[in-house]
Amino acid sequence: MHLLDLYAPSLHGRRDHAALEVADAHGALQRLTFGDLDARSDALAAGLRHRGLDRGDRLAVCLPNRLEVIDLWLAAMKLGLIVVPINVLYRGHEIGHIVGDAGPRAVVTTADRASDFGSTDVWDVEELAHAAARPTAAGVRPALGAESPAALMYTSGTTGAAKGAVLTHGNFVANARALLAAWEITAADRYLAALPLFHVHGLGNGLQCWLASGCHMRLVDRFDHTQAQGWFTAYRPTLFFGVPTMYVRLLETDAASARAIGAAARLFVSGSAPLPPAVLEAFHARFGHVILERYGMTETLMNVSNPLHGERRPGTVGLPLPGVEVEIRSASDGDATAVADGVAGELYVRGANVCAGYWQRPDATAAAFRDGWFRTGDLGVRAPDGYITLQGRRSDLIISGGFNIYPREIEELLAALPGVREAAVMGVPDATRGEVPVAYVVSDDRRDEGTFAAALDTALRARIASFKVPRAFVRVPQLPRTALGKVQKHLLPPWRP
Ligand code: MCA
Ligand code: AMP
């Protein structure tokens, strides 16, 4: 089964039903039916084919949430293209790596971003939007199967350089079906989509659950905590997916509005980073809902979820989703054998949700799988009744507001800057974002600390996404190291804002 089969009951079966509400460039709400979306993507598919795109070609998309992202996704699926979503916050360093690796035929973006893409063909989204608005008959469809790649999603896994996880039609179908069944999502739902569509949480869960269930969606360009209360109050969603930072922000909602929002809602889901039990409790008190926490990964889509009915246990991610097997194995690098309940280990996952490997990286793919199981790099423990608790990762990944930061990427960039001899980057706790990065720098620069830090900040902002730029640059005489030369980050002096 491929994605067009999954969407058919909505795109064809619910042609005349309201599907989507999204603001246009002037802020006016556009309302579309599933039939409108089907027709727009037929027209855009014809336009893309006219530009020479064919099955298996990669098409990069670097856009904030807007109607054209949906048109592009559907048109790409109709042509058998492979979508390469790029985080809009990424800058030259990250973008150069992704387009160099994925080799897209073109990137679709806004005119102001055109210069960020080097020699790659850049297509202005506004021009393509005209193609989507012109009625065209559906073209010839390539024969697709569950194994056909649908997207390359770039993620760093355990190393610094991002790799493209090859997510197939079958992966997205399996994930959407598991979530529809587990969370009882139906055409009667109203989904408020505030997660970015360039990562798995918004794309793999949000967009696919909407298209598979035929429910209604209100899409906003990005989560803005100053507007969130207004969206909830006006749209009255039954369903919301968010990262913990969004739930922390929603706690600012006044008590009466929170009660009204809670009364209209059916389900709030959290993932991408740990949800602090105190946030779960405060949200329950204010909105009258126990947030349902689940666990996934770019390479595997969703693996484990607290139940819709039954206990949503704070601090845990719940039980394996339908069709997903989870094994906890000893975290040593030798023979990784399954451990007993109550014993900590590394999570291994198997199921139709697991990606086909990494784009053109046979070595990385081989290292990620062991006898058919995907090695997540996440550490955790299973209780005798099956509930899984995550306990961190093998590698030192920082998750800030649900966005991933690999210390090594920033350490390498810092070490290449003038005045920096070496650097170590660490995550420190932050009440809103969960964690934020802080850099420790060994330097022979003579400037005062403030001037030097400002220079490093400016240099990094030009190269990488703002959420990766360290909150502070602490000068240290040397980095603490083991006898083997490995930096011992836990021995660095604590940083306080
Ligand atoms: C954040 N910023 C953005 C966006 N999001 N800019 C443009 N478009 C966006 N979509 C920038 C802001 O300009 C600002 O920059 C900074 O990020 C924080 O903005 P602020 O308004 O203070 O936001 P916040 O209230 O702190 O909330 C941040 C956020 C954002 C909206 C929650 O972190 C976010 O969208 N997180 C979702 C990430 C996500 O989808 N992760 C899923 C990965 P400056 O830093 O310069 O101030 S998939 C995954 O992890 C797996 C598979 C899973 O399990 O889901
Ligand atoms: P990504 O690399 O963006 O796919 O992020 C996946 C990682 O996010 C996982 O390997 C986990 O470490 C983390 N993650 C996702 N959901 C949760 C959760 N509910 N609690 C803790 N960590 C999570």
Q: Report pLDDT digits (tens) over 140-164.
A: 889 999 999 999 999 985 566 799 9
Q: Kindly state whether residue 166 falls inside one of the protein's structural domains.
A: yes
Per-residue pLDDT, averaged over 208-226, amounts to: 98
**For ligand 1, atom 17, which residue shows the shortest CA distance?**
467
For residue 299, which atom of ligand 2 is closest to its CA? 4
Count the neighbouring beta carbons within 10 Å of the beta carbon of residue 276. 17
**For ligand 1, atom 39, which residue shows the shortest CA distance?**
402
Task: Say whether both 433 and 334 belong to one domain.
Answer: no
Per-residue pLDDT, averaged over 223-229, amounts to: 97
Q: Which residue has 């690098």 as its token pair?
A: 333
What's the gap in Å between 495 CA and the centre of ligand 2? 25
Q: Kindly state whether residue 393 falls inside one of the protein's structural domains.
A: no
Read off the pLDDT band of 139 (50, 70, 90): confident
Per-residue pLDDT, averaged over 168-190, amounts to: 98
The domain that contains 448 carries what CATH number?
Answer: 3.30.300.30
**CB-ligand 2 contact for 205 (6 Å cutoff):** no
Per-residue pLDDT, averaged over 112-117, amounts to: 95
Q: What pTM, to 2 d.p., does this model score?
A: 0.94
Q: What is the per-residue pLDDT for 158?
A: 54
Task: Say whether both 371 and 417 belong to one domain.
Answer: no
Task: Say whether both 348 and 469 belong to one domain.
Answer: no
With a cut of 60, say whether residue 8 has pLDDT above it. yes
Per-residue pLDDT, averaged over 60-70, amounts to: 98
Which of 90, 390, 398 most suits a substitution to test ligand 2, by most atoms within 8 Å of the C-beta? 390
Q: 329 near 338, Cβ under 8 Å?
A: yes
Q: What is the per-residue pLDDT for 131?
A: 85
Q: What is the per-residue pLDDT for 159?
A: 61
- Residue 211 CA to residue 215 CA, distance in Å, equals 7
Per-chain mean pLDDT for the chain: 95
Task: Say whether both 423 and 356 belong to one domain.
Answer: no
Q: 215 near 187, Cβ under 8 Å?
A: yes
Per-residue pLDDT, averaged over 48-77, amounts to: 97
> Which of 365-387 are b and which e, b meaning 16 or more Cβ less than 10 Å from the residue's Cβ?
beebeeeebbbbbbbbbbeeeeb
Q: Kindly state whether residue 224 falls inside one of the protein's structural domains.
A: yes
Task: Say whether both 341 and 440 belong to one domain.
Answer: no
Read off the pLDDT band of 208 (50, 70, 90): very high
Q: What is the per-residue pLDDT for 396?
A: 83
Give residue 267's region: left, alpha or beta (phi > 0; psi -120 to 50): beta
Which of 272, 280, 299, 301 most suits a substitution to test ligand 2, by most atoms within 8 Å of the C-beta? 272
- Decide: residue 408, CB within 10 A, 0-12 exposed, 13-18 middle, 19+ buried: middle
Percent of the chain with pLDDT over 70: 99
With a cut of 90, say whether residue 172 has pLDDT above it. yes
What's the gap in Å between 444 CA and the centre of ligand 2? 37
Q: Kindly state whether residue 352 falls inside one of the protein's structural domains.
A: yes
Extract the tokens encoding 173: 């179908």
What's the gap in Å between 157 CA and the centre of ligand 2? 11
Q: Kindly state whether residue 231 falls inside one of the protein's structural domains.
A: yes
**For ligand 2, atom 22, which residue shows the shortest CA distance?**
273
Task: Say whether both 11 and 130 belong to one domain.
Answer: yes
**CB-ligand 2 contact for 171 (6 Å cutoff):** no
Last residue of a domain, one of 382, 417, 434: 382
Task: Say whether both 34 and 85 belong to one domain.
Answer: yes
Could you give the residue ranges of the DSSP H alpha helices within 336-425?
A: 362-368, 407-415
Q: Kindly state whether residue 496 falls inside one of the protein's structural domains.
A: no
Q: Which contacts qualify for 135-142: CB closer than 8 Å, 24 or more apart?
A: 135/39, 135/43, 136/42, 136/43, 136/46, 136/47, 137/42, 138/42, 138/45, 138/78, 139/42, 139/45, 139/46, 139/49, 139/78, 141/4, 141/78, 142/55, 142/79, 142/80
What's the gap in Å between 493 CA and the centre of ligand 1? 28
Read off the pLDDT band of 267 (50, 70, 90): very high
Last residue of a domain, one of 382, 408, 440: 382
Which of 87, 376, 378, 389 most suits a substitution to test ligand 2, by most atoms within 8 Å of the C-beta? 378
Which has more pLDDT, 198 or 334?
Answer: 198
With a cut of 70, say whether residue 224 has pLDDT above it. yes
Q: What is the per-residue pLDDT for 487?
A: 86
Q: 380 near 389, Cβ under 8 Å?
A: yes
Q: What is the per-residue pLDDT for 393?
A: 82
Q: What are phi and psi of 277, to 5 degrees?
A: -55, -30
**Which range is least confidently modeled, 210-214, 276-280, 334-338, 447-451?**
334-338
What's the gap in Å between 308 CA and the centre of ligand 1? 26
- The tally of domains found in the chain comes to 2
**For ligand 2, atom 3, which residue shows the shortest CA distance?**
298
- Residue 299 CA to residue 361 CA, distance in Å, equals 14
Q: Report pLDDT digits (tens) over 380-396.
A: 999 999 999 999 887 78
**CB-ligand 2 contact for 298 (6 Å cutoff):** yes
Count the neighbouring beta carbons within 10 Å of the beta carbon of residue 323. 15
**Domain ranges, residue 12:** 3-382
Which of 222, 270, 349, 464 most suits a substitution to test ligand 1, by most atoms within 8 Å of the C-beta? 222
Per-residue pLDDT, averaged over 107-113, amounts to: 97
Q: Report pLDDT digits (tens) over 340-371.
A: 999 999 999 999 999 999 999 999 999 999 99
Task: Say whether both 421 and 450 belong to one domain.
Answer: yes
Read off the pLDDT band of 333 (50, 70, 90): low
Q: What is the per-residue pLDDT for 138?
A: 81
Extract the tokens encoding 35: 């039939």
Q: What is the per-residue pLDDT for 160?
A: 63
Task: Say whether both 224 and 283 belong to one domain.
Answer: yes
> Which of 235-255 are b and which e, b meaning 16 or more Cβ less than 10 Å from the residue's Cβ?
bebbbbbbbbbbbbbbeebee
Task: Say whether both 377 and 411 belong to one domain.
Answer: no
Per-residue pLDDT, averaged over 219-237, amounts to: 98
Task: Say whether both 205 and 73 belong to one domain.
Answer: yes
- Show the ligand 1 pocket: residues with CB < 6 angstroms: 64, 88-89, 195-196, 199-202, 222-223, 225, 243, 245-246, 249, 271-272, 296-298, 401-403, 432-433, 466-467
Count the neighbouring beta carbons within 10 Å of the beta carbon of residue 434. 24
**CB-ligand 2 contact for 292 (6 Å cutoff):** no
Task: Say whether both 173 and 84 belong to one domain.
Answer: yes
Read off the pLDDT band of 105 (50, 70, 90): very high
Residue (of 395, 197, 163, 148) closest to 299 by Cα position: 163
Last residue of a domain, one of 382, 408, 437: 382
With a cut of 90, say whether residue 440 has pLDDT above it. yes
For residue 271, which atom of ligand 2 is closest to its CA? 19
**For ligand 1, atom 33, which residue shows the shortest CA distance?**
401
Q: Report pLDDT digits (tens) over 471-484.
A: 999 999 999 988 77
The domain that contains 56 carries what CATH number?
Answer: 3.40.50.12780
Q: Kindly state whether residue 390 falls inside one of the protein's structural domains.
A: no
Ligand approaching nearest to the C-alpha of 196? 1
Q: Kindly state whether residue 354 falls inside one of the protein's structural domains.
A: yes
